[in-house]
Amino acid sequence: MRVHWFLAAVHLLAYGLALWAVLARGAAFRRVTPEGDGARHVLLADNVWGISALILLITGGMRAFGGYEKGTDYYLHQPLFHLKLTLFILILLLEIAPMVALIKWRIALGRNRPIDAGRTRLFARISHIEALLIVLMVVAATGMARAVTFG
């Protein structure tokens, strides 16, 4: 029983951390100058965002498919779980362009070269959209916890 509680707590805390990180990253993107000043703040927030997303994926997978919660059958037949996964996939798709750009930033900074800061405004918007999707995932999760059904 304590493992259930622990996984649920870590999962929920990871949502809070993810929301903070993606909002902080979006704000940091807006402060990056064309010369690349402020890039390290973006990368720090991005590290936290990535770690929290990994924690969400691991704890969510364990809870849904590891026998720690309501059971795989419940989740596979729960429309809100499908919504939650769809939102997660949307986040992953939105994350492709910023992720590729930030990998290039890390390489450039590691070689003491300038970064390409040309799409920081776009990446800030993407980060804020991802924050909204995280909030919607939490809304779906609360419905699942209450066994909300449709129809």
- Model pTM? 0.90
| Cα–Cα distance for residue pair 62/17, rounded to 1 Å | 19
pLDDT at residue 149, as a whole number: 75
The torsion angle over the Cα atoms of residues 131, 3, 51 and 97, rounded to 10 degrees, is -50
Given a cut of 70, whether residue 120 has pLDDT beyond it is yes
Query: pLDDT over 70 for what percent of the chain?
Result: 99
Given a cut of 90, whether residue 125 has pLDDT beyond it is yes
| Cα–Cα distance for residue pair 124/147, rounded to 1 Å | 35
pLDDT at residue 151, as a whole number: 63
pLDDT at residue 77, as a whole number: 84
Greatest Cα-to-Cα distance within the chain, rounded to the nearest angstrom? 58
Mean pLDDT calculated for residue range 126-151? 90
**pLDDT, averaged across the chain:** 92
| Joined tokens for residue 9 | 């707590």
Query: Cα 11 to chain center, whole Å?
Result: 12
Q: Which residues contact 13 (CB under 8 A, 6 or more apart)?
A: none
pLDDT tens-digit series, residues 64-102: 888 877 778 888 888 999 999 999 999 999 999 999 999
User: CB–CB of 52/14 below 8 Å?
Assistant: yes
In the block, residue with structure tokens 């993810």: 18
* Higher pLDDT among residues 11 and 1, named by residue: 11
pLDDT tens-digit series, residues 12-62: 999 999 999 999 999 999 999 988 899 999 999 999 999 999 999 999 999
